[in-house]
């Protein structure tokens, strides 16, 4: 097994647009030829578009684009811009009078970061789709859907950190599997059982430990949340592969790939998370579905960490690279 760049997986294109001043953005994953796609939604507060059609019992054969976006539910408008551009390019389901692109989306909550009035819209989705069609390599950190990501929010924004967008891909023989992840978690990001980034302690000399903090305050749940954390969290992403999988296998792949979120984020899939993961399959490479799932989970896990390491301090949320108590050799 070797690492590779995710844009090297054939059939897929990636584009993103961000508003750094507003603190939001969107990322588009395209498969112009259409990808067999599954989805797994585990968070208790998701925001998605057109995911029901991905159920294996439905007749949606392929998907042409997946949108990962900030802006909470408002950000779903960005998918309309992707559809508009794809229709102009003749990419979509032929319905005789036009083509209808199949575009799915998942959102994260970044309205309390930067400007509340800044939300991904049709124009931003259109621009991100244009960027994807150019076939450029995807960037990491404060880009696309990662722009407004923050993590470690359980103790309030003054102790939170900057999240970001990350990618990771692996090659095993002819098989290629990669992941694009935007980490906006309530909790901490961990590596080898140690907190890599998350909620900081009072004097900024270490991490508070979100899971332990929640356990210690378990009897004060209503006081802790009281609506303040509703929708503020979420890890969203997309797995892409050249494995020849059917729709049911793609749905299972998305579910197995969620293991990567559980390994990298603690806690994961919480009440106010909207954790959602797509899996797009386009190719003819025969592969054991379980092997593809193992690689996908590893890619998701590492992509989350890469997004944290690539993020930069923005709007008062310090990045991992700027913490005085973190070794940059980690």
3-state secondary structure of 303: helix
Query: Which pLDDT belongs to residue 223?
Result: 47
Report CA dihedral (5, 82, 129, 313) to the nearest 10 degrees. -70
Query: Which pLDDT belongs to residue 15?
Result: 98
Tally Cβ neighbours within 10 Å of residue 6.
Answer: 25
In which residue are the tokens 């070797």 written? 2
3-state secondary structure of 80: helix
Query: Which pLDDT belongs to residue 43?
Result: 78
Query: Which pLDDT belongs to residue 225?
Result: 47
- C-alpha distances out from residue 290 to 42, 236, 237, 257, 263, Å: 20, 22, 20, 10, 17
Q: Do the Cβ atoms of 26 and 16 come closer than 8 Å?
A: yes
CA pair distance 265, 151, nearest whole angstrom: 10
Q: Do the Cβ atoms of 204 and 321 come closer than 8 Å?
A: no
CATH 3.40.50.11540 describes domain 2-317? no
In which residue are the tokens 């498969």 written? 31
* Domain spans of the chain, in order of start: 2-317
pTM assigned to the model: 0.94
Q: How does pLDDT run along the chain (330 residues), one tens digit per residue?
A: 899 999 999 999 999 999 999 999 999 999 999 999 999 998 778 899 999 999 999 999 999 999 999 999 999 999 999 999 999 999 999 999 999 999 999 999 999 999 999 999 999 999 999 999 999 899 999 999 999 999 999 888 899 999 999 999 999 999 999 999 999 999 999 999 999 999 999 999 999 999 998 888 776 654 444 445 545 678 999 999 999 999 999 999 999 999 999 999 998 887 777 899 999 999 999 999 999 999 999 999 999 999 999 999 999 999 999 998 876 654
Q: Do the Cβ atoms of 64 and 34 come closer than 8 Å?
A: yes
Query: Which pLDDT belongs to residue 229?
Result: 53
Query: Which pLDDT belongs to residue 213?
Result: 87
CA pair distance 100, 62, nearest whole angstrom: 12
Question: Residue 294 phi/psi, 5° resolution?
Answer: -65, -45
Q: Do the Cβ atoms of 66 and 278 come closer than 8 Å?
A: yes
Query: Which pLDDT belongs to residue 224?
Result: 47
Query: Which pLDDT belongs to residue 330?
Result: 47
Task: Give Cβ neighbours of residue 198 (< 8 Å, ≥ 6 apart).
Answer: 151, 152, 161, 185, 187, 188, 189, 207, 208, 209, 210
Query: Which pLDDT belongs to residue 269?
Result: 83
Q: How far is CA 164 from the centre of its chain?
A: 9
Query: Which pLDDT belongs to residue 219?
Result: 62
CA pair distance 4, 23, nearest whole angstrom: 30
């Amino acid at each position: 097994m070797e690492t590779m760049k995710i844009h090297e997986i054939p059939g897929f294109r990636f584009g993103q647009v961000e508003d750094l001043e507003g603190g939001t953005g969107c990322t588009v994953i395209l498969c112009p030829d259409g990808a067999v796609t599954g989805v797994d939604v585990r968070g208790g507060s998701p925001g998605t578009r057109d995911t029901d059609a991905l159920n294996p019992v439905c007749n949606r054969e392929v998907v042409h684009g997946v949108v990962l976006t900030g802006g909470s539910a408002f950000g779903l408008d960005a998918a309309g811009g992707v559809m508009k551009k794809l229709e102009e390019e003749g990419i979509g389901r032929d319905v005789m009078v036009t083509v209808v692109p199949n575009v799915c989306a998942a959102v994260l909550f970044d309205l309390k970061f930067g400007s509340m009035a800044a939300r991904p819209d049709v124009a931003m989705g259109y621009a991100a789709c244009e960027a994807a069609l150019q076939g450029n390599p995807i960037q990491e950190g404060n880009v696309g859907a990662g722009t407004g990501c923050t993590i470690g929010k359980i103790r309030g924004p003054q102790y939170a950190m900057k999240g970001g967008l990350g990618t990771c891909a692996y090659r095993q023989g002819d098989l290629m599997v990669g992941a694009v992840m935007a980490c906006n978690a309530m909790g901490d990001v961990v590596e080898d059982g140690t907190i890599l980034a998350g909620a900081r302690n009072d004097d900024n000399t270490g991490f508070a430990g979100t899971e332990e903090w929640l356990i210690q305050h378990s009897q004060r749940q209503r006081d802790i949340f009281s609506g303040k954390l509703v929708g503020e969290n979420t890890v969203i992403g997309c797995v892409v592969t050249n494995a020849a999988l059917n729709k049911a296998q793609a749905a299972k792949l998305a579910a197995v790939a969620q293991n990567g979120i559980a390994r990298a984020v603690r806690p994961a899939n919480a009440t106010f998370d909207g954790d959602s993961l797509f899996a797009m399959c386009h190719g003819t490479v025969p592969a054991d579905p379980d092997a593809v799932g193992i690689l996908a989970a590893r890619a998701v896990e590492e992509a989350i960490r890469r997004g944290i390491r690539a993020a930069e301090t923005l709007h008062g949320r310090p990045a991992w690279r700027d913490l005085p108590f973190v070794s940059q050799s980690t």
